[in-house]
Amino acid sequence: MMRLDSKIPSGPLESKWDRHRFSEKLVSPNNKRNLTVIVVGAGLAGASAASTLGQLGYHVSCFCFHDSPRRAHSIAAQGGINAAKNYQDDGDSVGRLFYDTIKGGDFRSREANVYRLAQVSTQIVDQCVALGIPFAREYGGQLANRSFGGVQVSRTFYCRGQTGQQLLLGAYSALCWQIERGQVTMHPRTELLDLILVDGQARGIVARDLVTGRISAHMAHAVVLATGGYSNVYYLSTNASGCNVTATYRAWKHGAAFANPCFTQIHPTAIPPGDVHQAKLTLMSESLRNDGRLWVPKLSADHRSPGDIPLPDRDYFLERRYPRFGNLAPRDIASRAVKVVCDEGRGVGPGGRGVYLDFSDVMEQQGLEVVRERYGNLFEMYHRITGEDAYQVPMRIYPAPHYTMGGLWVDYNLMSTVPGLFVIGEANFADHGANRLGASSLMQGLADGYFILPYTIGHYLATATLPPIPDDHAEAREAIQRVETRIHRLLTVKGCRTAAMFHRELGTLLWNHCGMSRNESGLTSALRAIPTLREEFWRDVMVPGSGNSFNQELEYAGRVADYLEFAELLCHDALHRQESCGAHFREEYQTEDGEPRRDDAQFAYVAAWEYREETVPVVHKEPLAFEFVPPTMRSYQ
C-alpha cells in the first residue's frame, strides 16, 4: 500500500527549511567518495545538481540523450528568473514571492515547498553571478530587473531574451569543471530506458548508448531524475522534439507516484499551427502582451483583412472580460479566452486558429522605433517563420502546450515514493500547483539542483542501508532483458505506419479532449480511444534498421510508445478532478460568465497516482493545508 508522507517540517513557515537542514544527517567527506549518484538529465536542474554533488565529493554519473549536456531544453527559456531580492525597493519580499506563487498556482501547491523556493531564490541569483552569467545591468553597474505576468513587482533577472540559455550554460560550465576534476562522469547520447530497483530501493538505471546501441546497467546508491516535462504528449508543443516522458513514466511503473498529471500549461502566445507537416510550435515571449492588444472580429467568418475591420467591428476580448488586467491576464486565463473566441468561429487565419496581437496602437502613440527597440528580435522571428511583417499587419497567435506542472510526486526532500529515487525540476510536481507563473521554472530548476537536493540526498545516503551491489545483479540483468525485449518488439512489428503518424493522432486526440478545456464525455471517449490507438501502434508501427546501431527512429518510436500509455493516466486524472483550477478547466465546473469554479472542499489535495498492472491506476490523496495563505478565488476581472 502506497503511503504519502510529505515530511513537511513542523513549526513556523519561515524557519522550516533552516531547522530541517540542521536536523538532517550529514555524510562524512571520507564516505562521500565511496558513494555514487546517478543524475539523469543535464538541463538546469540536472546540471546544477550533478555539479554540486560532484563538488561535495560524491561520484556522479550524469546521463543525457543530447550530444552535449549544453543542449537541454532549459536553454530555450526566454524571459527570465525570479528572485525576491527587492533591489527595486518596490515592496518585494520572500513572503510576497511565496504569496504570488501560491496564488498563481491556484492553491494547489504546498506552502512549505513554495516558501522554501522563495527563500533560496535570492541565493540562486548570487550563485549565477559568481558563475559569470552576464545578467543585464544598469548604467551604475547594478543588476537590472523587469516585470512579468501576474505580479506587481519587478523581480525578474534576465539576459536579453536568452536567460535560459545563459543559466544553462552557467550550470554546464560548473558541470564541465567537475568533469575535468573527475568527480562527474558524463554520458552524452545515452538514454535511460529503465530503472533498477533492488530491495525496493532505486539502485541504478538501464541505458542505451544511442551511437552504438549498446544497452548496459549502471548501478549507484541513489538515482536522481531531472528529465523535464511531457508537453510533447500533445505532439505539437513549444518543447524541443526530444523532450519525452520515458524516464518518469518508467519510474511510475516501478512504483513512483505520479502527481497531478492533468496540470498542463497552455501558453497563450505561440505562432499558430500551419500545415500538417509542422513539427513544433514556436513561442513568442509573454512580454509582447505588455504592448500588444488581442482582438478578433465581432462577427464570425469575417474574412476582411484586419486593416479593413473598423473599431466597432472588433472585439478586444481580454480587455472586455478582464478590465483590470486586460491583455496581461495570466497564461491559463488568456489561453482559455482565446479558445472561447475561436470556438465561436471568430478565430482568424488558416482554420480559424488564431487571434490578432496588434501593436498598431502603441506604434501610433509611441512610434515604430520604440516597438522595434523593445520587440525587434521577436518581430524578426515572426517574419522568418510566417513570412508576414508584423509592423504592417497584426501578428496572429494561438495557444500551445508549454509546461507541465504535474510530475512525479516528491516529498519535502524531493524524494519520490520509491526510496532512493529523487526527482527535480519540471519532472517533479512540487511547486507550481495548477498553474506556473512566468520566470519561475528557471528558479525552481536551479533551486532544486543547487540548493535543495544536495542537502536532502545526503540525509538519505547517510541513513539508508545500502549494501554493495554488482553491475550484474539479478535485478540489473532482468531490467536489461526487459529493455532488449521491448526494442526487439518495436523492430519486429514491421508495419506500415510511422511513429510520427501515431504521435500526431494521439496529440490531436488529447488536444481536443484533454487540452485547454475538458469535459466528462470528451475524456471518457479519449480513454476509450487511446488503448485502441496503442494496440494499432504495436500491430502496425514501422521501425526500420537494427537495435545495435545509431537509430533515431527507434529512439522516437520508444518515446511514442510511452506517450501512448501515459496519455491514459493524464485523462484519468483530468476526469477525476471534478473542479476547474489553474490550467485545468472542466467545462462542467464554471461560473455563469465562464470563469473556473474551484472546489476546495473536495479537491484541495494532490492527486498521486499509483500504477497497477493491467487495470486502472489508483489515486492517493495528499491533503493541502493552507495555514499561512487562506485560499481565495483568483479574480482578474
Partner 1 sequence: MTFTLKIWRQSSPSEQGRFVTYEANDVSPGMSFLEMLDGVNQRLLRSGEEPVAFDQDCREGICGSCALVINGIPHGPDQGITTCQLYMRRFSDGASITIEPWRAKAFPILRDLVVDRSALDRIMQAGGYISVNTGGAVDGNVLLIGKDQAETAMDAASCIGCGACVAACKNASAMLFVAAKVSHLATLPQGRPERARRVNAMLDAMDREGFGSCGNQYECEAVCPKRITVGFIAKLNHEYLRAGIVESGLPNEPESPYAESS
For residue 245, give Cα distances in angstroms to 281, 422, 559, 600. 19, 16, 7, 30
Q: Which residues 307-366 are close enough to bind partner 1 by CB under 8 A?
A: none
Shortest Å distance, C-beta 539 to partner 1: 16
Interface with partner 1 includes 89 (CB under 8 A)? Answer: no
Contact present, 160 and 146 (Cβ < 8 Å): no
Q: Which residues 280-309 are close enough to bind partner 1 by CB under 8 A?
A: 280, 282-283
Contact pick of 16, 20, 59, 71 for partner 1 (by CB under 8 A): 71
DSSP 539-565: HHB---S-SSS--HHHHHHHHHHHHHH
Q: Which helix (H) or strand (E) holds 187?
A: strand 184-187
Interface with partner 1 includes 131 (CB under 8 A)? Answer: yes
Contact pick of 258, 450, 511, 537 for partner 1 (by CB under 8 A): 450
Shortest Å distance, C-beta 137 to partner 1: 4
**Residue (275 or 614) nearer to partner 1, CB:** 275
Shortest Å distance, C-beta 255 to partner 1: 31
Residue 389: partners with Cβ closer than 8 Å, 6 or more residues away: 379, 383
Residue with cell 532512493: 420
Residue 177 φ/ψ, nearest 5 degrees: -60, -45
Contact pick of 98, 135, 148, 317 for partner 1 (by CB under 8 A): 135
Contact pick of 278, 285, 290, 525 for partner 1 (by CB under 8 A): 278
**Residue (427 or 606) nearer to partner 1, CB:** 427
Which residues pair with residue 216 across a beta bridge?
Answer: 207
Q: Which residues 592-611 are close enough to bind partner 1 by CB under 8 A?
A: none
**Residue (162 or 265) nearer to partner 1, CB:** 162
**Residue (8 or 240) nearer to partner 1, CB:** 240
Interface with partner 1 includes 123 (CB under 8 A)? Answer: yes
Q: Which residues 32-61 are close enough to bind partner 1 by CB under 8 A?
A: 48, 51-52, 55
Residue 381 φ/ψ, nearest 5 degrees: -60, -45
Contact letters (x/-) for partner 1, 515-544, by CB under 8 A? ---------------------------x-x
Residue 477 φ/ψ, nearest 5 degrees: -60, -40
Contact letters (x/-) for partner 1, 162-191, by CB under 8 A? x--xx--x--xxx-xx-xx-----x-x---
Which residues pair with residue 218 across a beta bridge?
Answer: 205
Residue 394 φ/ψ, nearest 5 degrees: -60, 150
Contact pick of 6, 24, 99, 136 for partner 1 (by CB under 8 A): 136
For residue 404, give Cα distances in angstroms to 203, 434, 469. 27, 9, 35
Among the residue ranges 8-16, 238-246, 322-330, 513-521, the one whose residues contact partner 1 (CB under 8 A):
238-246
Interface with partner 1 includes 634 (CB under 8 A)? Answer: no
Q: Is the four-CA dihedral 184, 81, 405, 374 of positive or negative sign? A: negative
- Compute the half-sphere exposure of residue 577: CA atoms within 13 Å on the CB side of its CA: 37
Size, binding site for partner 1 by CB under 8 A: 80
Q: How many CB atoms lie within 10 A of CB 494?
A: 10
